[in-house]
Amino acid sequence: MISAALYDTKPYDREYFQNALFREKIDWQFHEFRLSASTAATATGMDAVCIFVNDCLDRTCITQLSKAGVKLIALRCAGYNNVDLKAAKEFGFTIVRVPAYSPHAVAEHSVGLLLTLNRHIHRAYNRVREHNFSLTGLIGFDLAGKTVGIVGTGKIGRIAAKIYRGFDCRVIAHDISPCHDWAAQQGIEYTSLSGLLNESDIISLHLPLNSETYHLLCRETFKQMKQGVYLVNTSRGGLIDTTGLLEALKADCIGGVALDVYEREGGIFFEDHSGHILQDDELNLLLAYPNVLMTSHQAFLTHEALSEIARITTENIIRLQANQPYIDETVL
């Protein structure tokens, strides 16, 4: 039987992996703590490790995994900015991921965040529960007729763009590898990043995090945006420079910000910190703004997505044991 250690797991991870097809062929070890250099020794004797977005596989950790005899690194997510790919290659590791567990889940959550923020649904919900039925301060705006800028037109970005087209929005897009045929079919215009920033009433980010996209939105790019623009980010927190964002919010340049990710979310997101004071001053400031809405990296959290994550990851681990090729498009 092949062995695999899952790190940074929650009850829903255990539920879906324990119910995945071929689960009986894998000896699972579920860990609530994250995988890092300081915890890598727990992988000793494991054939595979399975990690999530806030595990840290730097060179030191990968060196220890190699000494521990691990053969496969499986990411139960699409992003891989937390893995030192160069070091992994040097040590001969195969790395697999789940490139498209449910693009609909993430795209739908991003639009849901915007609707909630714009129409003040979260504030209205709290008011009504306290029997306050006043509508003062709850004015939003129609999406119809607004210009939405989609930055990144991969699977998730395309679905988000299509949803906004359904609201009768004008949708413009920017991508380093534009798909003009798709854009023409959907009535979407590609433009430069500066053009998108200048024209958009709403900007939605759908990009991986790498050296070229890190702090894509920063002091300089915030200055190029329309007064009162709304920003949505369900991709990676590092796409936005938090310090610059706070300055733009304080200067009243931004109408609203909807975030499912935060650049220093590791050690904060996925955990209950309600019993003590957060030590991250910038996060505390963000949460204090009435025009900022944040969820804790839950865009992926649907039945369909969790099922697909467990299915693809489990099957790839089984293929390691059977010495078969991994699922198409999952190998980095």
Catalytic residue chosen out of the listed positions 76, 265, 308, 311:
265
Task: Give the contacts of 84 (CB within 8 A, at least 6 positions apart).
Answer: 57, 58, 59, 62
For residue 72, CA distances in Å to 9, 47, 261, 327 come to: 18, 7, 27, 14
Mark whether 236 is an active-site residue: yes
Task: Give the contacts of 214 (CB within 8 A, at least 6 positions apart).
Answer: 238, 239
- Indicate the length of the chain as a whole number: 332
293 — phi, psi (to 5°)?
-120, 130
Considering just the CA atoms, what is the radius of gyration of the chain in Å? Answer: 21
Helix axis angle for 103-118 and 303-322, nearest 10°, is 150
Catalytic residue chosen out of the listed positions 97, 236, 308, 311:
236
Strand partners of residue 57: 83
* 105's tokens: 């889940």
Strand partners of residue 231: 203, 257
d(Cα 138, Cα 7) in Å, to the nearest integer? 42
Question: What is residue 187's DSSP assignment?
Answer: T
Catalytic residue chosen out of the listed positions 120, 297, 308, 311:
297
Report the sign of the C-alpha dihedral through residues 30, 34, 35, 39, in that order.
negative
Mark whether 104 is an active-site residue: no
For residue 189, which of 241, 149, 145 has the smallest C-alpha distance? 149
* 4's tokens: 């695999």
HSE-up of residue 329 (Cα within 13 Å, Cβ side)? 5
d(Cα 305, Cα 299) in Å, to the nearest integer? 10
Mark whether 303 is an active-site residue: no
DSSP codes of every residue in 28-68? EEE-SSPPSTTTGGGGTT-SEEEE-TT--B-HHHHHHHHHT
Q: Just list the catalytic residues.
A: 236, 265, 297
